[in-house]
Each structure stands twice: as structure tokens, then as C-alpha cells.
Structure 1
Amino acid sequence: MMKALYYILPLAAMSIVSCQEEKGDLQKLQDERDSLSTLTNTIQQRILELDGEIAELDSTIKFTTVTLYQVEAQPFAHYFQVYGSVEADRNVTLFAETQGMIEEIHVREGQTVKEGQRLISIDDEVIRRNIEEAQTSLELADTLYQKQSKLWAQGIGSQVQYLEAKNRFESLQSRLNVLNAQLRMANLTAPFSGVVDEIFPKGGEYTGPGQPLIRLVNMNSVYVTADVPEDYINRVATGSEATMYFRSINDTVEAKVIQVGQYINPDNRTFKIKVGINDANGTYKPNMMASVQLKDYSTETAMVLPNHIIQQDPEGRSYVYSFENHEGTDEIGTVVKHYLELGHSYNGITEILSGLTGTERIIDRGARSVQADEHVRMIK
């Protein structure tokens, strides 16, 4: 047994030494590779520098010429556009509530009227006669009712006679109330102050219940209503900034959203908004069309680039090229490729979320004719 151990122990020691030697050789190989890699990078960098110096001195070498765009942080906002039309809460058509001949029209189209002012009178002679007749009958019915009440209180007469007198009195009273209401209807008055926009009948014509008489508009409080796609439901709120353009009068108005609808129309997947307008001069008319730009995103500082500078590779990744000039010269430089993460895009400008530090000089003209690590000449 001792002899077996004598032979086993040296073999184990030799195995440990062999493993240590192998690890040492591996580390040496790795260190040598790293050293060569560093040396290669240094050589490649020096070659680039030499190429630039040679290019500057050798007039026979042709370079792609490029122009540069300096990246800067600046405010950025994103808008989307919808279309709407002008509406007014007080834009109503007044209808006839009784029948008769148009006796007199007291206003003209375009005239400003006050609340309660008489607009149209309908012939009410028949109604007045009926009122006179009803009043006479009511007086008699009232007298009979009072007498019958006293008799009934004394136990004289029948209950039927008392109830008949009471019923006739109350019926005539109701009829008189109806006739007085009809008399009031025969005189059309303004329910609010505004402008007479249109008069439908002419004097002497016959009218009846439900026929339009006058359109009355108050334009001191108007707004634009628009349908907004459902996708923007969390981007628009009361107070959101809006810019409206009225093409028909070539007018632009800065405004704010005054109301956001809470209902999604299932037919077109939109919700309604109202944008307020200050229209003291009556410039904006009902149903006038407007394009509405709504701000749904903004930031005070953002790196942005013109859209035409940003390119895409076959995998759909966005990138730009920057210019890094060689030491000792401002004109000759190397092209560097930067992959980008993009944010919002609006009006030809795109927000850059990552991929740039903000100090780069981005290649503008000539960007689609160069490649990474290529030497190019910068022109102003």
C-alpha cells in the first residue's frame, strides 16, 4: 500500500505543475493578442492621420466634398392637425307657435336686437275676440260657482250641481290661460340679444306652428368644434394650445382647447373638442371651416436634426454621419457613423433621443455619397 502511494503522489504533483504551465501560456497568449490589438489600432489611427496629411499636400487626390450642420440643443414642440368648423351656442332659428297672417315684421336682416324685443307680429284679432268671449263666460261661471258653493255649504242643492259649476269655472279659466298664451305667441320676441341673420317670411304671408320665421345669432361667444382621432385621447386636455387657420379669410388665431369630449364615436373612432375664439368683431361665421393644429408634446431643450440628414440602413436603423477633422487641418476629416434613437418629428425636424452628444458636426450635403472612415473635404 505504501509503494502505491509513493508512485501516486509524484504523478499528482506533476499534473498540478502541468496545469499551471498551461494557464501561464494562455495568459501570455492573451496578453500578446491584446498588445497586438492595441498596436493595430495605433497603426490604423496613424495611417488615417498620414492619409489626411498626404491628402492635404497631394493636390492630385480627389475628395468628396461635404457641408456640415452643427448640432445644438433648442426648444422643440410637436403638433398634429385636424379640421373643424365655427359654431355658436346662441345660433337659433325661431319658429311660429301659432297660426295666422304675418301682420308686421319689426326688424330687418343684419339688425342688432336686445333680449325681449318684438321681432314679428302675427294677426291676433281672432285670438283677442276669443279672449273677450272667454273672459265674459268666465265671469258668469265664477258668479254661479260662488253661489253654488254657498248653497252647498248650507246643505242646499245637490252635489252634482256644485261639481258642475266648479268644473265649468275651472274649464273656462284654463281656456283663458291657453288663449293668453296664444296671444303671447303671436308676438315673436328675441330670446337673447344678437343679430337678425335671416328673415324667412314676408309681411302678409300666412304662417303656422313649426314654420321658420327668423334666424337669430349672437357671435360674441363662438368656438371651433373638431373631431380628433382616438389615438390622441391622452394627448389633448382642456387648456392645450391650438393654432387655427381660416383659409377663407386668410387668418391665423392662437387659442386654447376649452372642452374635451368624453365620448368616442364608434363610427369614426374620434372624440370632439371645442377651441375657444375671442370674436368681439364678429369676424368668424357659423360653419366657417378651420384647420386646427394642436400641441401634444414640447420640451425646452432637445437635440434636433433636419429630416433630410437622417438616413436608414436596410435593417431600418436610423443613422447620420459626422465629420471629425484631422489634427492640424480644418478642411480634411474622417467620416464617423452614428446610430440614432429618434423621438417626435414635426415640420421637417426630428428630435434625437440618443446617439449624439450634442457637439458633433453632422454631414449635410454629400451625406449620401460617403461611407464610414472615408476621408472627405469640408466646404463652407
Structure 2
Amino acid sequence: MTLKSLLAVGLLPIALIACGAPEENAAPPARLVQVETVELIGPQRRYEFVGRVEARRSVDLAFQVGGQLAVLDVTDGLEVAEGDRVAQLVLDDFQRAEREARVQLQQAQTNLERQQTLFERGIASAAARESAQTEYDLRVVALGNARQNLQNATLTAPFSGLVSRVLVDDFAVLAPGQPVARIQDLSELRISIPIAEDLIATFNADDLVSIEASFTFLPDQRFRLEPRELVSEADSSSQTYRGIFALPANIPANILPGMSATVYADLSSETRRPGHVHVPVSALGYAPDGSPIVFVYDDASGTVMRRTVTTGELTNDEIRVTAGIEAGDAIVTAGVSALQDGMAVRPLDAPATRG
């Protein structure tokens, strides 16, 4: 054997040993994972309506008795206080009827007293006394009616408000119940919006997140509304229902009934209300004791930490988490069964946002 052969045979075990030696200090590669950031669930449904401003109350004032109009104290756009006189009829006939009823009552009272005296002396019968009593009672009622008619001949404002329209002319002859003036209570302005029947059928008061109104003459401003009532009778022509909401009092404009507004309503479904956190079902794992867990990603260390959570109802491919994580946490949403606490991972791409 030559020297070259001996050297080759001698160096072969050394080469084999060198090639087969493992790297003792090599760290395992970081596992690729999908990471998403948890956020609070926002509104799921947004609606836009055309609304109309309404007064809190609107009343057409009318006399309960008929007669000729003598005084009309109001004009369109006039503000009135509760109890202020709005109009008055000619009072002559009503005053005459009141005096006549008063005289007849005095006569009936005199007759009743005479019949009572005669009955006590045994001269008049009980029937005569009862007839006089009946006549007296009728005259009491007649005087009350006459005084009420005299009072009703003067029309006053039932509340403080704005006279939006005068409906009669001076010195007109009015029938009972004929409207004289329309008064609107502006102590609280409201907005009425039409709501379709399919939305009414599925609406839940707890679903309302926010409702706001805007006006074209106040650009870039929205005003929060407060629910007041829902009219349960549908409009005969449009088959829609009316929702009524109150406007705030501090709007920097002269808002009047009849103005139009755009109303924005944000609704959330019952299982996705604001304040709830939902995660994909694929993000959920289970500890050896059966408790649900998720793995929270720490960007600073590049590792994941196991965290026990409390879960709620399941909706499609998501589950509600009521405790354990909060908005802003980054969680692994795929392959959690292969993860361990403290394991080094690398996000598959830029963290997505879950809302």
C-alpha cells in the first residue's frame, strides 16, 4: 500500500465524523402563525332616514260654542304664554243667557221654598213639593251651562308656544269646533322618521347603538337624538311606521317644525353588541383540564403566551369571549394545537385587525 492510500484510509473516519456531527447550539426555527388584533365589535347595521322636524305638541284651537268673532289677538308667528287670550266671540248673547238663567233659578228657588212651607203645614202635597224641587235642580243646571258657554266664548292658549297659523279672518261667524289658530309647543323639538315594516318586525330596543341627525345648513355637525315614541299604526299610503326622537336644546340654529333632516341610526345585532369581543373558532384551544385557551402574541419577544378565557355564545364561525382577552390583544388564529407557552413564532404577514 502506498503512502497516498494510507493517508486516504486514515482521514476517511475523520471526515465521516465531521460530516455527521450535529450543531449543538442551533435554535429551532420560529413557527409561522396567523396573528390578528382583537377589537371591540362595532355597529353591524347602519341606516339612513329622511326625517321631518315636529313640535312636541300641535293643537288647532277652536271655540266650543258658535258665534261671531269679536277679537282676534294673535297673528302668524306670535309667541304666546299659557292662559293668554287668543280670540273672543261677541259676548252679548252669552251674557244675556246667563242673566236669564240666573233669574229663572231665583224664581225656582222661591217656588221651592213656598212649596216646602205649604207641605209642612199640610196644605201642599208631596208631589207638588217634588215638582218644585225638580224645577229648581233643572234651573241650577241651566245656569251652569250658561256660565260655561260664556266662559267658552273666550279662547285661551292651553300651553306656551308659537302660533304657527291663524285659520280664520276677523269678524267671521264661526261654528262650534271650527279651528281658529294652530299653536305648537316648541319646548322640545322632535324628528319623525318613517320606518319600514321589516325593520320594525326585527327591531329590539337594545340593538340601538346611536341615532343622530344632521341638517344641510349645519354642515359637518351631527346632533344626538333621544327616542321618544314609536307610532304603532302604519301609514295607509306608504305602509311605514313613525319613529319619533327628541332633538337637543343647544342646536346653534333657529330650528322650526317642518324642516327636513337626515337621520343616521346605528344598530347592532343581539349577539354582536358594542363591548363584546369575538374571535374565530380556529383561535380557540383547550388546556389539559378542558378549559378554553387562546395564544396571545408578544411582539417584543416574538413568542406566544397561553391565556385562559371565558367564552359565550357561538355565532357562525366566531365565538364571543367575555373574559381573558381585551381589545388590542394580538392572538393566533390558526394552528393553535401545535403551539406551546413561550414558543417563538413569526407572524405570517402584517397583523390583521378583527372587529
Query: Take 2:186 and 2:265, find their aligned partners in 1: how far apart are those partners?
Result: 24
Question: Could you tell me how far 1:180 is from its partner in structure 2?
Answer: 0.8
1:114-125 correspondence to structure 2 within 5 Å: 114-125=81-92
| 1:150 correspondence with 2:109 | no
2:70 is matched with which residue? 103
Question: Could you tell me how far 1:81 is from its partner in structure 2?
Answer: 2.0
1:242 is matched with which residue? 211
The one-letter amino acid paired with 1:83 is: V
Which of 259, 275, 292 is the aligned partner of 2:263? Answer: 292
2:179 is matched with which residue? 212
| 1:128 correspondence with 2:95 | yes
Specify every segment of 5 or more residues in structure 2 that has no aligned partner in the other structure, as ranges.
1-35, 279-316, 319-331, 336-346
Question: Could you tell me how far 1:140 is from its partner in structure 2?
Answer: 1.3
Residue by residue, what CA displacement relative to the aligned partner does 1:91-113 show, whole Å, maximum 9, x if unpaired? 11101221111111123332222
8 Å Cα contact 1:261/1:271 also seen in 2: yes
Query: Take 1:113 and 1:86, find their aligned partners in 2: how far apart are those partners?
Result: 21
Which structure ranks higher in relative contact order (CA pairs < 8 Å, sequence separation ≥ 6)?
Answer: 2
Change (3 A) 1:266 1:237: farther
The one-letter amino acid paired with 2:210 is: E
1:82 is matched with which residue? 49
Change (3 A) 1:360 1:125: farther
Query: Take 1:289 and 1:92, find their aligned partners in 2: how far apart are those partners?
Result: 21
1:323 is matched with which residue? none
Question: Could you tell me how far 1:260 is from its partner in structure 2?
Answer: 5.3
8 Å Cα contact 1:240/1:256 also seen in 2: no
Q: CA RMSD in A?
A: 3.9
8 Å Cα contact 1:93/1:213 also seen in 2: yes
Question: Could you tell me how far 1:179 is from its partner in structure 2?
Answer: 1.0
The one-letter amino acid paired with 2:264 is: Q
Question: Could you tell me how far 1:361 is from its partner in structure 2?
Answer: 5.0
Query: Take 1:204 and 1:80, find their aligned partners in 2: how far apart are those partners?
Result: 51
8 Å Cα contact 1:220/1:278 also seen in 2: no
Query: Take 1:203 and 1:246, find their aligned partners in 2: how far apart are those partners?
Result: 38
| SS of 1:203 mapped into structure 2 | coil
Question: Could you tell me how far 1:200 is from its partner in structure 2?
Answer: 1.7
Which of 245, 249, 269 is the aligned partner of 1:275? Answer: 245
| SS of 1:209 mapped into structure 2 | coil
1:254 is matched with which residue? 223
1:171-250 correspondence to structure 2 within 5 Å: 171-229=138-196, 230-231=198-199, 233-237=202-206, 240-247=209-216
Residue by residue, what CA displacement relative to the aligned partner does 1:120-153 show, whole Å, maximum 9, x if unpaired? 1110101111111221121111111122123223
Question: Could you tell me how far 1:178 is from its partner in structure 2?
Answer: 0.9
1:349 is matched with which residue? none
| SS of 1:77 mapped into structure 2 | coil
Query: Take 2:255 and 2:186, find their aligned partners in 1: how far apart are those partners?
Result: 8
Question: Could you tell me how far 1:159 is from its partner in structure 2?
Answer: 2.6
Could you say which structure has the larger radius of gyration? 1
1:52 is matched with which residue? none
Query: Take 1:84 and 1:241, find their aligned partners in 2: how far apart are those partners?
Result: 16
| SS of 1:283 mapped into structure 2 | coil
Change (3 A) 1:142 1:117: same
1:23 is matched with which residue? none
Query: Take 1:73 and 1:114, find their aligned partners in 2: how far apart are those partners?
Result: 57
Question: Could you tell me how far 1:299 is from its partner in structure 2?
Answer: 4.4
8 Å Cα contact 1:106/1:120 also seen in 2: yes
Query: Take 1:123 and 1:236, find their aligned partners in 2: how far apart are those partners?
Result: 53
Change (3 A) 1:165 1:246: same
Question: Higher helix fraction: Structure 1 or Structure 2?
Answer: 1
Query: Take 1:356 and 1:84, find their aligned partners in 2: how far apart are those partners?
Result: 47
8 Å Cα contact 2:75/2:163 also seen in 1: yes
Question: Could you tell me how far 1:245 is from its partner in structure 2?
Answer: 2.4
Change (3 A) 1:359 1:131: farther
TM-score normalised to structure 1 length: 0.55
